[in-house]
Chains A and B, each alone.
Chain A
């Protein structure tokens, strides 16, 4: 299956700052997904990033808060902007491969203080 590398694995950030999370895949993929997992909760889809087009955001998530880049078929970034303590979560990157279904990275654990 696909191997996904996420950086950083964890970070502690000051409120009002921004953090960019990187997702690198060892295969070329069309669709990449970004999820948020709040403490003790399940996964919620933030947006879908297709190479060469603007990301599509789910209800409750906006581009100004969570800008996404998708420069090529193996890489994407998610930025969490103007952070507040409510943004403390695990952020996960995921890809879909026809044979292997959906694969997830190990996540970025963000704490905002």
Chain B
């Protein structure tokens, strides 16, 4: 059974204070690792997909990296508008084909 664990559960940062969010996973045959951002009352918004260890992707202040056991979402010089819940998910297999298994998420709050 695929498992995804995110840490920390919650993170408070001052504006400009860089940090990293962790996503540890176990999956039988990783087909992709996804990062999403979710704002209150909204559905998850796609950020990145990573497919193989060593891969990195960047978007504005966010950078995602992947190893064989975990992924990191690095936030550089965050701003208050980066406050959201960040979700990690792995793509695996079920009887219907493929599926996403989500971690519990990290609630990020950036204070001005």
Given known pairs A101-B34, A103-B46, the reply for A33 and B41 (CB within 8 Å) is: no
Q: Give the size category of A's interface with B.
A: 20 to 34
Contact of B34 with A102 in the complex, beta carbons under 8 Å: yes
Other than the given A48-B97, A106-B42, 20 more pairs (CB < 8 A) read: A31-B97, A31-B98, A33-B99, A41-B104, A42-B102, A42-B104, A42-B105, A45-B100, A47-B96, A48-B94, A94-B43, A96-B98, A101-B49, A102-B46, A104-B36, A104-B43, A104-B44, A104-B45, A106-B41, A107-B41
On whether the beta carbons of A100 and B46 are closer than 8 Å, the reply is: yes
Sort chain B's interface into a size bin: 20 to 34
- Give the residues in chain A near B94, CB-CB below 8 Å: 45, 48, 56, 58
Interface flag for A92 (CB, 8 Å): yes
Q: Which residues of A contact B28 (CB under 8 A)?
A: none
Question: In the assembly, what is the distance between CA of A30 and CA of B70, in Å?
Answer: 30
CA distance A26 to B88 in the complex (A): 26
Give the A-B pair count, Cβ closer than 8 A: 63
Which residues of A are at the interface with B, using a C-beta cutoff of 8 A? 1, 4, 31, 33, 41-45, 47-48, 50, 55-56, 58, 92, 94, 96, 100-107, 109
Does B87 contact A42, Cβ atoms closer than 8 Å?
yes
